[in-house]
Amino acid sequence: MKKTYNIAIDGPAGAGKSTIARRVAEKLGFVYVDTGAMYRAMALYFLRKGFDLKDEDKVGKACREISVDIRYENGEQQVLLNEENVSGLIRTEEVGNAASAISAYPAVRAALLELQRTLARTSDVIMDGRDIGTLVLPEADCKIYLTASTKVRAVRRYKELEEKGMVCSLEEIERDIIERDNRDMNREIAPLTQAEDAVYLDASAMTIDQVVEKIIALARERGLEQ
């Protein structure tokens, strides 16, 4: 059986991980696993149910009621929450902040960990998140820590929301990003940190295409077959 090749991309919110990982996957013919979308789907469930996200015990017990799956239709990733396609419902700021909050809970992380590892064992994957290289796929063939300044990340998010016709404040978005960074980096369980063997890549002054090509080059340096 041919060994699968795994690429892990970690980094803070808004660094462009999902967009870049998706493009790398397309170029290499890999499966893209958006772990953030999986956490967002769980967060959507709790928000819909009106849970107090600070109630770790209740959130943890409710994980047994939740099934999250990733499927591909016509090459596009679809995120399913209890068999409902929620791909178009999980990209709001509210859901993103809720996902950051619940991702600190061991029960939530355990519920998704095995699915993520199974995908990596059975397919060539590129996976992005907060703890992929340090916890989920510690043996990944290529690890990247992708980041950008808070200002750059805020401007990107502002433009995304503006294009969707949403009224937003650049200053408020940057404050949210700084708060989320602090929360992700200082949580007790699987904090956001750069794996010792990960390549640090600051994309503040790079285009998406430049980052994509850089990651593909790094993967090939680390054993990805041409």
Binding residues: 11-19
Round to whole Å and give the CA distance between 173 and 169: 6
Q: How many CB atoms lie within 10 A of CB 14?
A: 24
Round to whole Å and give the CA distance between 221 and 225: 9
User: Do 67 and 85 contact (CB within 8 A), yes or no?
Assistant: no
User: Do 30 and 24 contact (CB within 8 A), yes or no?
Assistant: yes
DSSP H/E element including 81: strand 76-81
DSSP H/E element including 77: strand 76-81
DSSP H/E element including 116: helix 106-122
Q: How many CB atoms lie within 10 A of CB 10?
A: 27
Q: First and final CA of the chain: distance in angstroms? A: 19
Q: Which residues line the annotated binding site for ATP? A: 11-19
Whose tokens are 């904090």? That residue is 191
